[in-house]
Amino acid sequence: MAGSEEDISLVCSVKICYLNNQGNVSRQIANPKTFLQLGRNEFRDIVLKVECGKVQANFKICDMTLHTRFVKEGKSTISLKEPPLQMFISNCPVGKLSMFLKVLMAKVKSSKDAKAVSAKDRLQALKPPSFQEISPLSTIDINILNNKVGCNITGKSTFNQTPKSSKRKRDLDEKENTTPSRKVVAVARPIAPRLLTMEQKRVMSAVLTGRNVFFTGSAGTGKSFLLKRILGALAPENTFATASTGVAACQIGGITLHAFAGIGSGTAPLQQCIEQALQKGKSSWKQCQHLIVDEISMVDGEFFEKLEKIAQIVRRNDKPFGGIQLILSGDFLQLPPVSKKGENRLFCFQSEAWRNSIDVNIELRMVKRQNDKNFINILNDVRRGRCSKDVIQKLKATHKHQIDKDGILATKLSTHKDDVDIINNSHLEHLPGQLQVYRAVDSCPELARFMNNHCYVVEKIELKVGAQVMLTKNLDLQRGLVNGARGVITGFDIGKEKLPIVKFVCGIEQAVNYEKWTVRAPSGIVLMRKMLPLQLAWAMSIHKSQGMTLDCVEVSLGRVFECGQAYVALSRARSLEGLRVLDIEPSSIRADPKVLKFYSQLDYENSHQTEIEDYL
């Protein structure tokens, strides 16, 4: 019972505790598949309709408290004073829960000004009981939500933010108090939903109907955005978000595919991997109903086949991948799987496991990262390995671009990781002034190594005035403070933390505070790292830049050694004006023939599907 993405009703796990006069639980009911829906009764009161097993009830929402601290985990609590009860919601799709609570909050707030119907008038009205589904949020509702509620919900408000419980309080909370941070309640943020394209809606529809889906597309077509929307539409307890690399996994709040599987590097023989999975990954495999894999292009085909065998044996289910729904995302025309020299590379789509399991293949075509059609056409040619004289000339002409601005230098994308560390450390060392050192604070310090492999930010960063830096997290989309935004350190504030002051390309200059990253361990435990959302940015590896959008990029393609590497590097730029290519030859631009053949078949399938949809 997945429902549509826009539907604000919920199907989730609910426990209702009825309270007596002393506040103790007098009766409770629970059901893992409870239906919740907002509506209005015959007197236009806000009503919460609950179908919890055999129990069906409509609760009038008048005086309530919302506990929203764990919305991002698919959990919330609604406390009512009349009747006195607590409703514990869990295992709810995060996106749907967030929208549900936003609508509830806005509608209750807007109804506060309406004249209440007296008990006498209700009795005399003789109206038959009725239930009408709540209307969508209007502009007035959104204004009320933004202006009256704001970003922080006070303890005295009808809607209370949950205080930190002693059970969940850790040393990290005490350290948090020393660093001022923005307190944002998920359900009180301004509502500005970004609409899905028709292509993205096709993917979402396939996912919500339980199909095994692979969706792809060139850089900037909204794959990451869609993946996050999909995550928000699925029950979190049974959905595992994974990726082929730790960096990609961190971007979606997940873990690496290897960590999920519980088989280490996965290079051991199949039987040994099965034994490892039965010991380390059994609970994950058993619990999983939806497996999301981002950057699937970098997953080796043999490893993919091995995973299917493990899933079938651990789950004792002969269906493809043991009956788990697969949701795969990536671009095989970007970085390929890592293979040893001389070994024949097998892509996932070449494997028997892929042919047996994937029902739907969809390519996203609408580019959102770049607006310049000329640049988009160049990138499309490079992606497909097409290298005309015109493309080469246009890219070579960028070497004259003056993209350094206000002390902010272009980030050099390097084909080799070792070069990146040498460049960054050398530039930092040669800067004058005092070195400031910042260290991450982890909720579980003994798992710091795991966090280093799965979290986008490093354990330690050293900075000086003049250091070239890059944001590693979205802070303020409207002001241009987004993941990949470039800047330069102009100073340090006078507070205890000596937070770095950064001047960004967009013109904003401000102190950058600590932010939080969460990573879900294979055991299900949510780990948290608190760190400055910055990294040194004189240089960056092409591999690590995958999925990012950069303001000013300098690329040297003379040492390209992989198919798709040149395309990944060039497509990091937001525009042709923000790109400087130092050296490029036709041999730098290449695409794997096997991948091109796969995408030609995909083109045919998608065009055929489009013709059918147009006809219908």
CA distance 134 to 328: 35
pLDDT number for residue 155: 33
Going by DSSP bridges, is the β-strand pair 515-520/526-531 parallel, antiparallel, or unpaired? antiparallel
Cβ-contact 284, 240 below 8 angstroms? yes
Give yes or no for residue 96 having a pLDDT over 60.
yes
Q: How many CA atoms lie less than 13 Å away from 475 in the CB half-sphere?
A: 22
Instruction: Calculate the CA dihedral of residues 58, 61, 63, 67 and round it to 10 degrees.
Output: 90
Known binding residue 556? Answer is no
Known binding residue 277? Answer is no
Provide the residue type at 472 as one letter.
T
- pLDDT category of residue 477 using cuts at 50, 70 and 90: confident
CA distance 362 to 434: 52
- pLDDT category of residue 173 using cuts at 50, 70 and 90: very low
pTM higher than 0.85 for the full model?
A: no
CA distance 10 to 235: 10
CA distance 440 to 529: 7
| Average pLDDT of span 183-205 | 65
Q: What is the pLDDT of residues 6-21, one digit of tens each?
A: 567 899 999 999 999 8
Q: What are the start-end ranges of the H helices in 114-222?
A: 119-125, 139-144, 171-176, 198-208
Known binding residue 249? Answer is no
Residue in 492, 483, 441, 506 with CA at minimum distance from that of residue 463: 492
- pLDDT category of residue 336 using cuts at 50, 70 and 90: confident
pLDDT number for residue 150: 39
Q: What are the start-end ranges of the H helices in 112-155?
A: 119-125, 139-144
pLDDT higher at 167 or 359: 359
- pLDDT category of residue 151 using cuts at 50, 70 and 90: very low
pLDDT number for residue 145: 61
Distance of CA 301 to the CA centre of its chain: 25
Known binding residue 256? Answer is no
CA distance 531 to 451: 12
Give yes or no for residue 474 having a pLDDT over 80.
yes
- pLDDT category of residue 187 using cuts at 50, 70 and 90: very low
pLDDT higher at 494 or 371: 494
Known binding residue 223? Answer is yes
- pLDDT category of residue 196 using cuts at 50, 70 and 90: confident
Provide the residue type at 298 as one letter.
M
The set of long-range contacts for 313-321, using a CB threshold of 8 Å and a minimum separation of 24, is: 313/274, 314/274, 314/277, 314/278, 314/281, 314/282, 314/285, 314/286, 315/285, 315/286, 320/212, 320/353, 320/356, 320/357, 321/212, 321/291, 321/353, 321/357
SS3 497: coil
* % of the chain residues with pLDDT over 90: 46
Provide the residue type at 244 as one letter.
S
| Average pLDDT of span 112-122 | 74
Give yes or no for residue 247 having a pLDDT over 70.
yes
Q: DSSP code of 162?
A: P
Give yes or no for residue 26 having a pLDDT over 50.
yes
Which of 40-54, 161-175, 239-253, 579-593 has the lowest average pLDDT? 161-175
pLDDT number for residue 158: 44
End-to-end CA distance of the chain: 26
| Average pLDDT of span 361-390 | 87
Give yes or no for residue 600 having a pLDDT over 80.
yes
Known binding residue 158? Answer is no
pLDDT number for residue 556: 86
pLDDT number for residue 38: 92
pLDDT number for residue 139: 66
Q: How many CA atoms lie less than 13 Å away from 299 in the CB half-sphere?
A: 30
Phi first, then psi: give them for residue 130, nearest 5 degrees.
-145, 160
- The average confidence (pLDDT) of the chain is 84
Cβ-contact 482, 474 below 8 angstroms? yes
pLDDT higher at 431 or 179: 431
pLDDT higher at 36 or 134: 36
Cβ-contact 594, 347 below 8 angstroms? yes
Q: What is the pLDDT of residues 322-335, one digit of tens each?
A: 999 999 999 999 98
* % of the chain residues with pLDDT over 70: 86
Known binding residue 217? Answer is yes
Give yes or no for residue 92 having a pLDDT over 50.
yes
SS (H, E, C) 434-460: CCEEEECEECCHHHHHHHHHHCCCCCE
The first and second tokens of residue 174, run together, are 């005490």
| Average pLDDT of span 89-105 | 91
Q: How many CA atoms lie less than 13 Å away from 513 in the CB half-sphere?
A: 13
CA distance 251 to 472: 10
- pLDDT category of residue 175 using cuts at 50, 70 and 90: very low
- pLDDT category of residue 437 using cuts at 50, 70 and 90: very high
- pLDDT category of residue 508 using cuts at 50, 70 and 90: very high
Which of 258-267, 351-360, 380-389, 526-535 has the lowest average pLDDT? 258-267
Known binding residue 224? Answer is yes
pLDDT number for residue 142: 66
The first and second tokens of residue 424, run together, are 């960054």
CA distance 21 to 25: 10
**To which residue do tokens 């639980």 refer?**
25
